[in-house]
Chain A
C-alpha cells in the first residue's frame, strides 16, 4: 500500500493542481471564457433574493375547452344530420341524447383516429376524450390523457408568459423552470421586494373590449365592476376584441390631459375587427375589461381604423407601465397561485455569509489543532490532507457550478469534522499494528490495508444519506446534500491517495527511527 508508481503520483498531484486551479477561479472575474468563468453560485439565502413557486390552476382551461368541444359537437351532429336533444355540460362532461340507431355511427366517428373532434395520441395510444353510452344517452368527458395534455400545454404556455413578464421587469439572472406537472419555480436573485413581480404574475391579464349596453342582445349582458371603484356597469357578453390581437403596448405620458396612458397597436385582423365595430357603434361606450374588471369605458367619438388605441384610467406612470407590460407579454392561459414564497433580504444574506465563513474557519482551526496535538507529525499529514480536501471540494463545486447555500456551508464544516475520520481510522490501525510489527513500513502498510474496508463502509453510509437528501430535499437542503456528498468523495481521495503518499514518503525517510504516534 505504500508503493506509488510515478504515473500514479503524477495523476494524484495533477488532479489536486487542476481542482485547486478551479477553486482559485472563484476569485477571478473572467466572465467570457466557458471554463475560466466557472464559479460557485451563491444560493438565494446567501445573496438575497426571492423564490416563488407558482401553481397553475388548469381547471378553468378544462372548463373552457369542454365548452369549445360542445360547440364543435353541435356542428358535427348537425353536419351528420344526427338529431340530438338535451345537449348540456354538467361538471366538465358533455351529456346528450341521440336516437339509438345513430349510436353506432357516432361511435365509429368518435373512434376514428383521424377525426378532428377526438384526438388520438400516438405516444399514449389513447384518445383525448372518453365516451360512455347508456341506452340512448351519451356522455363525453376528457380522458386521463386528455387532461394530461391540457395541463402540459397550459403549463408550457404559462411558463412562456411568466418568462416574458419577468424578462420585462429586468431582474438579474432569473431562473424560471417547470416543477412537476403543474408548477413553475421562479428564482429572482437580488430581489428583496417581490411585491411588483407578485403583482405582475398574479394577474391573468385577460383583456377584452366589449360594448356597454342596457338592452339584452343576442349574447346577453353581465354586470362587471369597475376597478378601484364600487360602480358597476352592464356589459354585453360579446367580445369585440381581445388581447391576442395586440402587437404592442406602451406606457406614455399624455401631455394634453396631463396623465399617464397606455397606447396599443393592433395586428391586421384586430385592426379590421376594431374598425368595423367602432364604425357601426359611434356614440356607444366601449368597456375595456382586464381580468373581469372594467378599467375604463370611454365613448366612441369616431371610428378607430388605424389599429392604434389608447387606454386611459387614472394611471400612475408605474401602473401604466405595468399594464403595458402585461398587455405586451400576453394573457396567461390560467390563473397562477403563489403556493410558496421565500424572500431573503440582502443584509441577512451578507450576515449569513459572514457567520458561515467564521464558523468554517473556527471549526477548521479547532480540528487542525486537535489533530496536531493528538497525532503530532501524522496530525500534520492529516491536516494537509484536510486542506487538500477542502480545496478539492471547492474545486469540484466550482467545476459543477454548484449553488452554495447556508446549509451547504454547514455541510462543508461537517465535512471538515468528519473528514479526519478516514485518517483517524488508518492511524489508529497503524498504531495497533506497530504493537506487533517491528518494521514501521510494514505497520503502515498493514494499517492502510486493514483500515480500507472500515473507511469505505463508513463513508458509503453517509454518502447514501447525502444522495437521498439530494433527490428529496429542496432548495437550501439540496445545497447541503451536494457539499456533504462531494465532501465524502474528496475525503476518500485525500485520505487514500494524498495522505497515503505523504505517509509513505515520511515513513521511507524515517524507516530506521522510532516513530511514535
Chain B
C-alpha cells in the first residue's frame, strides 16, 4: 500500500533546526522583498498589457521589441507567453488620453512586421484604479489574517492563535519572497492565490491543533512536546493525502490550464507545500514555546460549562 506512513516519526527532534531554517527563510524573503521588490503587474502598477499572436513563426521577439521601442511608449517589456507564437507586451502608458492608441499600435506593428497581428487580450489600467486595486488587495490579505486570528481565537486558546498566525505569515512571506526572487508577476489572481493559501494553511494547522487539544485532555500527564508528536503523527496521513490531492489538482492547472493561470497555480503549489510544512514545523512548535498544557484547554472547557 502506498502512503502508509509509519506512525512513529519523531518530529519534535527536528523542531529547532527547522525553526532556524524557517526564520532564515523569512529573513531572506524579507531581504529580497525589500531590496528587489515585487514585480507588480498592470493591475497594481497601472499601464497597458497586450497579449498578441503572430501568425508567422519566422517573426522573432526582437522584431516585436524593436517595433514597440520605436513607438515611444516608455518602458516596454516583451516576452514569450505560453505556446504558439504568443507574446506578452507591457508598457507604462504615457497618456490614457489617446483613445485610439491600441489601434495605432496594432497598425504600426502590422506594417513594421509585415504580418497579421492578433491582439488576443488588452488590459489597460489607469493609475487611480491600479492604486485602488493594490489597496484592496492588501486590505483583503490583512482582513483575512485578522479574520483567521479571530476565528481561531474563539475556537482555541491564544497560544493556538499565535502559532497559527505565525505559520500563516511565514507562508505568505516566503511565497511572496519566492515570487520576488523569480521576478514572477503579481496580479489580481496572485492575491486570490495568497488568500487561498491563507485559508489552506489555516485549515491544515487547525486539524493538527484540534487533535492536540483532544490529546491534551486525554493524556493529562504527558507534556506538550509529546502530545505534539503524537498528534502530528496521528494526523500525518491526512495532512499528506490532502496535500497530495490538492497538489494533483494544482499541477493539472499549472500544466494544462494555459499561460494565464500559470502564476496563480504556481503560487498555490508553493503555498500548499509551505503551508503543509508550516503546520507541522512552525505552528505546532510554537505551542511548546508558549507552555501549553492540559490546563490551558481544560480551563476553556470549564468556562464553557459555566
Q: In the assembled complex, which residues on chain B have CB atoms less than 8 Å from the CB atom of A463?
A: 199
As a 0/1 sequence over residues 253 to 267 of chain B, the CB contacts with chain A under 8 angstroms (1 = contact) are: 101111011001100
Q: In the assembled complex, which residues on chain A have CB atoms less than 8 Å from the CB atom of B102?
A: 195
List A450-469 residues whose CB lies under 8 Å from chain B. Answer: 450, 453-454, 457-466, 468-469
List A383-420 residues whose CB lies under 8 Å from chain B. Answer: 406-407, 409-410, 413-414, 416-418, 420
List B197-217 residues whose CB lies under 8 Å from chain A. Answer: 198-200, 202-204, 206-207, 210-211, 214
Cβ-based interface call for B196 (8 A): yes
Cβ-based interface call for B21 (8 A): no
A413 and B245 in contact, given A407-B261, A432-B234 (Cβ under 8 angstroms): no
- B233 CB, nearest partner CB in chain A, Å: 11
As a 0/1 sequence over residues 178 to 196 of chain B, the CB contacts with chain A under 8 angstroms (1 = contact) are: 0000000000110110011
Q: In the assembled complex, which residues on chain B have CB atoms less than 8 Å from the CB atom of A367?
A: 245, 248-249
**Inter-subunit contact B119/A345 (CB<8 Å):** yes
Cβ-based interface call for A342 (8 A): yes
- B85 CB, nearest partner CB in chain A, Å: 13
How many residues from A make CB contacts under 8 Å with B? 73
List B115-152 residues whose CB lies under 8 Å from chain A. Answer: 118-126, 128-129, 133, 136-137, 139-140, 143-144, 147-148, 151
Cβ-based interface call for A20 (8 A): no
A472 and B143 in contact, given A355-B258, A410-B261 (Cβ under 8 angstroms): yes
As a 0/1 sequence over residues 312 to 356 of chain A, the CB contacts with chain B under 8 angstroms (1 = contact) are: 000000000000000000000000011111111101100110011
Q: In the assembled complex, which residues on chain A have CB atoms less than 8 Å from the CB atom of B126?
A: 337-340
CB-CB nearest in chain B for A467: B147
**Inter-subunit contact B196/A465 (CB<8 Å):** yes
CB-CB nearest in chain B for A475: B188
Q: In the assembled complex, which residues on chain B have CB atoms less than 8 Å from the CB atom of A472?
A: 136-137, 139-140, 143
- B149 CB, nearest partner CB in chain A, Å: 11
Q: In the assembled complex, which residues on chain A have CB atoms less than 8 Å from the CB atom of B2?
A: 373-374
Cβ-based interface call for B167 (8 A): no
Cβ-based interface call for B244 (8 A): yes
Cβ-based interface call for B250 (8 A): yes
**Inter-subunit contact A340/B124 (CB<8 Å):** yes
As a 0/1 sequence over residues 345 to 388 of chain A, the CB contacts with chain B under 8 angstroms (1 = contact) are: 10110011001101110111011001101100000000000000
Cβ-based interface call for B287 (8 A): no
Q: In the assembled complex, which residues on chain A have CB atoms less than 8 Å from the CB atom of B144?
A: 464-465, 468
**Inter-subunit contact A417/B203 (CB<8 Å):** no
Q: In the assembled complex, which residues on chain B have CB atoms less than 8 Å from the CB atom of A461?
A: 148, 151, 199, 202-203, 206
Cβ-based interface call for B238 (8 A): yes
CA distance A343 to B265 in the complex (A): 23
Cβ-based interface call for A127 (8 A): no
A345 and B196 in contact, given A416-B249, A425-B207, A454-B211 (Cβ under 8 angstroms): no
Cβ-based interface call for A428 (8 A): yes
CB-CB nearest in chain A for B259: A355
CA distance A150 to B30 in the complex (A): 47
Q: In the assembled complex, which residues on chain B have CB atoms less than 8 Å from the CB atom of A421?
A: 203, 238, 242, 245-246
Cβ-based interface call for A75 (8 A): no
Cβ-based interface call for B247 (8 A): yes
A199 and B121 in contact, given A356-B257, A363-B248, A480-B192 (Cβ under 8 angstroms): no
Cβ-based interface call for B241 (8 A): yes
**Inter-subunit contact A459/B123 (CB<8 Å):** no
Tell me how many residue pairs across A and B have CB atoms closer than 8 Å: 219
Cβ-based interface call for A25 (8 A): no
**Inter-subunit contact B264/A407 (CB<8 Å):** yes
**What secondary structure prevails in chain A residues at the interface with B?**
helix
CB-CB nearest in chain A for B203: A458
CA distance A307 to B240 in the complex (A): 80
Cβ-based interface call for B237 (8 A): yes
- A198 CB, nearest partner CB in chain B, Å: 5
List B38-54 residues whose CB lies under 8 Å from chain A. Answer: 51
**Inter-subunit contact A363/B253 (CB<8 Å):** yes
**Inter-subunit contact B250/A417 (CB<8 Å):** yes
**What secondary structure prevails in chain B residues at the interface with A?**
helix
CA distance A461 to B151 in the complex (A): 8
**Inter-subunit contact B246/A406 (CB<8 Å):** no
Q: In the assembled complex, which residues on chain B have CB atoms less than 8 Å from the CB atom of A128?
A: none
- B269 CB, nearest partner CB in chain A, Å: 11
- A427 CB, nearest partner CB in chain B, Å: 9
- B249 CB, nearest partner CB in chain A, Å: 3
Q: In the assembled complex, which residues on chain A have CB atoms less than 8 Å from the CB atom of B255?
A: 359
A345 and B188 in contact, given A410-B257, A414-B268 (Cβ under 8 angstroms): no
**Inter-subunit contact B128/A55 (CB<8 Å):** yes
Q: In the assembled complex, which residues on chain A have CB atoms less than 8 Å from the CB atom of B124?
A: 338, 340-342
- B56 CB, nearest partner CB in chain A, Å: 17
Q: In the assembled complex, which residues on chain B have CB atoms less than 8 Å from the CB atom of A220?
A: none
CA distance A116 to B257 in the complex (A): 63
CB-CB nearest in chain B for A355: B258
**Inter-subunit contact A428/B238 (CB<8 Å):** yes
Q: In the assembled complex, which residues on chain B have CB atoms less than 8 Å from the CB atom of A413?
A: 249-250, 252-253, 257
Cβ-based interface call for B100 (8 A): yes
CA distance A416 to B51 in the complex (A): 30
CA distance A344 to B136 in the complex (A): 24
Chain B interface (Cβ within 8 Å of chain A)? 2-3, 51, 96, 99-100, 102-103, 118-126, 128-129, 133, 136-137, 139-140, 143-144, 147-148, 151, 155, 188-189, 191-192, 195-196, 198-200, 202-204, 206-207, 210-211, 214, 234-235, 237-238, 241-242, 244-253, 255-258, 260-261, 264-265, 268
Q: Please name 14 pairs of A and B residues whose Cβ atoms are closer than 8 Å in the assembled complex, sorted by A.
A: A202-B99, A339-B96, A360-B252, A363-B250, A364-B249, A367-B249, A374-B241, A406-B261, A410-B265, A413-B253, A417-B247, A466-B199, A472-B136, A473-B140
* 4 cross-chain pairs, A with B, having the tightest CB-CB distances, nearest first: A417-B249, A363-B252, A465-B199, A355-B258
Q: A342-B124, A344-B121, A473-B191 are in contact. List 17 more A-B contacts (CB 8 A).
A: A338-B126, A355-B258, A359-B255, A359-B261, A363-B250, A363-B251, A364-B249, A414-B253, A417-B249, A418-B246, A421-B242, A428-B237, A465-B195, A468-B195, A472-B143, A473-B140, A477-B192
